[in-house]
Amino acid sequence: MHTYKNKQDYEKMLILLNGLLSGMQIYYQNLRGFHWNIKGEKFFELHEKFEEWYDDTAQKIDEVAERILMLDGTPLHDFAGYLEKSPVSPAKDISDARKSIEKVKDDLLTLLHLEREILDRASENNDEGTLAMISGYIGEHEKLLWMIKSFLT
Ligand SMILES: [Fe+2]
């Protein structure tokens, strides 16, 4: 069930949400890679943090997919589709603490940009369910971004 009166707005929202789902899947996999490959003095600290962040992301991924279903859409569910639609680029062969955290920062900024667009459009279309979910994500991702910037300073 959805509140969209205009077909174009409705279809655009499904595209945006599938983009967010795809971006979060790649972000999730990036975090797993960092969790596995991190080396150096910050190993214990970051190995654990990356796990905390990907667990949190896995939960959000499920919520976004189920939100798409609530709007009568179909969540993307294959890796090829995720790679095609993700605004987040896949990370490869990063084991340096600073480089991995910098990539997390870039990914978060990309996700936040998309989340803000979804928030605006959900608000214009009285889509309260999507709005509530996304505004929570924005708050959490902004908090994480602040911590990451403090780490990098
Ligand atoms: Fe592990």
Kindly give the distance from the C-alpha atom of residue 105 to the centroid of ligand 1, in angstroms, as a whole number: 21
Kindly give the distance from the C-alpha atom of residue 144 to the centroid of ligand 1, in angstroms, as a whole number: 21
> Full-prediction pTM beyond 0.95?
yes
**Where residue 2 falls among pLDDT bands split at 50, 70, 90?**
confident
Domain assignment present for 92: yes
Domain harbouring 114, CATH code = 1.20.1260.10
Domain assignment present for 1: no
DSSP summary character for residue 60: H
Kindly give the distance from the C-alpha atom of residue 32 to the centroid of ligand 1, in angstroms, as a whole number: 8
Domain assignment present for 102: yes
Kindly give the distance from the C-alpha atom of residue 36 to the centroid of ligand 1, in angstroms, as a whole number: 7
Kindly give the distance from the C-alpha atom of residue 40 to the centroid of ligand 1, in angstroms, as a whole number: 17
Kindly give the distance from the C-alpha atom of residue 119 to the centroid of ligand 1, in angstroms, as a whole number: 33
Domain total in the chain: 1
Amino acid identity at 129: G
**Where residue 145 falls among pLDDT bands split at 50, 70, 90?**
very high
d(CA 57, CA 34) in angstroms, rounded, equals 14
* Residues 47-75, mean pLDDT to the nearest whole number: 98
The boundaries of the domain holding residue 118 are: 7-152
Kindly give the distance from the C-alpha atom of residue 95 to the centroid of ligand 1, in angstroms, as a whole number: 15
HSE-CB of 127 using CA atoms within 13 angstroms: 28
* Residues 65-90, mean pLDDT to the nearest whole number: 98
Which backbone phi and psi does 95 adopt, to 5 degrees?
-125, -5
Q: What is the three-class DSSP state of 125?
A: coil
